[in-house]
Amino acid sequence: MRSCLVVLLMAAMLPGLAHARSWRPAHVVVVIEENHGYERIIGNPDAAFINELAARGALLTNSHGIQHPSQPNYLALFSGSTQGVTDDRPVPGTPLNGPNLGAALIAKGYTFAGYSEGLPAIGSLSLAAGGIYARKHNPWSNWQSDNPGPNQLPARVNRRLADFPSAFEALPTVAFVVPSLMNDEHGNGQITDANLIRVSNHWLKRHFGAYASWAIAHDSLLIVTWDEDNYTKANQIPTILVGAQVKPGRYDQALTHYNVLRMIEEFYVLPLAGASANAAPIASAVP
């Protein structure tokens, strides 16, 4: 009787597995932009390529960040939890050992890598570099360990944008991409907002225009989202899906980063991390 009770208690403590979707993309690339609300981007001619992606794919019109400022949103998207973080300061207690998307993929035999523009070197744990890289935008680094334990990640998954493969077949199963502070619409406070949007729009087209077309033809997916809006209470952001089995259109389901994480977990039938377990599946845009 006691052994049965122990088994039941252990089962109750284990995270539930995501339900399998009918589509399992060969590759998923998630690009994270910064600090702009839905109405500032969608329909803005300064964001012409971004709006072209929205027209080619699924535009999630009721998507929201978790909170302000930036860092909790990156953590939420990657791990289903803000990890108790409420600011952009270094995450305490690293390396963390809680569930996260990268470790879940690797445990199931898939692959993961995060690509940060301006990262000084593969595996770097620098807090900042060159005025263009900020670790607060690199959530996977908080699970990096030289001797990875449960849910921790090896240094090799913490990569530079320069390491992003030009042959897309060589991509990991899931890749996160973080542009530099000058290319992700964050800026340094010295550039006009309109120019920030134009620069990021050009950067996205130059770096991921080819991948967007390739994904449609090669059973893969591009997700472009924003961490948060420009500090409004609504925190409404654009989220765009472009890929082989994406159903083009506009979808008004209420979503947060937790729903996007859950969608990726469902593709690969991974354990549901943190709040993604209580997030509704993204219902109509992908099969």
pLDDT at 175 over 90: yes
The set of residues, in sequence order, having a beta carbon less than 8 Å from that of 164 and lying 6+ positions away, is: 115, 171, 175, 177, 207
Q: Say if strands 174-178 and 112-116 run parallel, antiparallel, or are unpaired.
A: parallel
In this structure, how many other beta carbons lie within 10 angstroms of the beta carbon of residue 209?
14
The fraction of the chain above a pLDDT of 70, given in percent, is: 95
Q: What φ, ψ does residue 205 adopt, rounded to 5°?
A: -65, -45
Condensed to tens digits (0 to 9), the pLDDT of residues 111-132 reads 999 999 999 999 999 999 999 9
Residue linked to tokens 């995060």? 114
What per-residue confidence (pLDDT) applies to 147?
Answer: 94
Domains defined for the chain, CATH in brackets = 2-278 (3.40.720.10)
Q: Is 26 exposed, middle or buried (0-12, 13-18, 19+ CB in 10 A)?
A: middle
pLDDT of residue 188: 85
Mean pLDDT across the chain = 94
pLDDT digits (tens, 9 = 90+) for 71-93: 999 999 999 999 999 999 999 99
Residues paired with residue 28 on neighbouring β-strands, in sequence order: 174, 221
pLDDT band, residue 189 (cuts 50/70/90): confident
- Residues 45-69: tens digit of each pLDDT: 999 999 999 999 999 999 999 999 9
Q: Which pLDDT score, from 0 to 100, does residue 8 have?
A: 30
The count of other CB atoms within 10 Å of the CB of residue 66 is: 19
Question: Within 13 A of 276's CA, how many CA atoms are on the CB side?
Answer: 33
For 275, the 3-state DSSP assignment is helix
Length reported for the chain = 287
Res. 11: pLDDT tops 50 = no
61: Cβ–Cβ under 8 A, 6 or more apart, which residues? 38, 42, 250, 251, 252
Determine the longest span between alpha carbons in the chain, in angstroms. Answer: 68
What pLDDT, on a 0 to 100 scale, did the predictor assign at position 227?
A: 98
Instruction: List the one residue out of 242, 238, 196 whose CA is nearest residue 219.
Output: 242
pTM over 0.75: yes
CB neighbour list of residue 115: distance below 8 Å, 6 or more residues apart = 159, 160, 161, 163, 164, 175, 176, 177, 178
Class of residue 141 by CB neighbours under 10 A (exposed 0-12, middle 13-18, buried 19+): buried
Rounded Cα gap, residues 151 and 143, in angstroms: 7
